[in-house]
Amino acid sequence: MILNDKEIAALCTDNPDAPMIEPFIPESVSTTDNGAKILSLGLSSFGYDITLAGDIYVFHANPALSTIVDPKRFNKDVMKKARIYSDGDSRYVLIPPNSFILGYSNERIRMPEDVMAIVLTKSTIARVGGVCTATPLEPNWTGNITLEFANLTAYPFKMYIDEGCAQLVFLKGNRPNITYSDRNNGQGGKYQNQGPEVVVAKV
């Protein structure tokens, strides 16, 4: 069952000590306090639009580096801290052509034991060649979401900070035998309790 806005809101407000999304915005917001347009964030009819924090790493070509990208033996030298730009009311980073960034959500997520979430690209980003490749959030997973964005175009791509970047769609079912927090004898999976930081591939 896909959760609607009322069901999502209840999971975020009924238990103030452990809300599913924190901070939680109970409506869709598409302008700043002074009326400037932003990429919408907050609660929508059947999902929630999360935002990108300002600590971002970009994959870059380094002629002095002889390596391949290997998820089992990831070399962090293929990344560098992205430069933050400002444009009036907005902050952003530039994703180089055919490149990729890693960031994380401003929001901390606490998945219930019988709910999972799928992370989808916002349509405004997708329609100009940006793709969010973040993976599902499993039952009982907790943390800030590491977010991955690819630029499929031949031009620099403007990725806005603190604005809507991806949508979570929540699916409710019966509690699985093993939740994410049950893995490793109750220690949780390898990406459990991610903080507000970029977490690279682990094995």
- Is 141 a residue whose pLDDT tops 80? yes
Break the chain into its structural domains and give their ranges: 5-62+80-175
pLDDT digits (tens, 9 = 90+) for 57-108: 999 877 677 778 889 998 888 899 999 999 988 999 999 999 999 999 999 9
To the nearest whole percent, how much of the chain has pLDDT over 70?
A: 99
The class of domain 5-62+80-175 in CATH terms is mainly beta
- Which residue of the set 107, 148, 163, 197 is catalytic? 148
Give burial (CB, 10 Å; 0-12/13-18/19+) of 162: middle
- Return d(Cα 128, Cα 130) in angstroms, integer: 6
Q: With contact defined as beta carbons under 8 Å apart, do 129 and 152 qualify?
A: yes
Q: Is 148 a catalytic residue?
A: yes
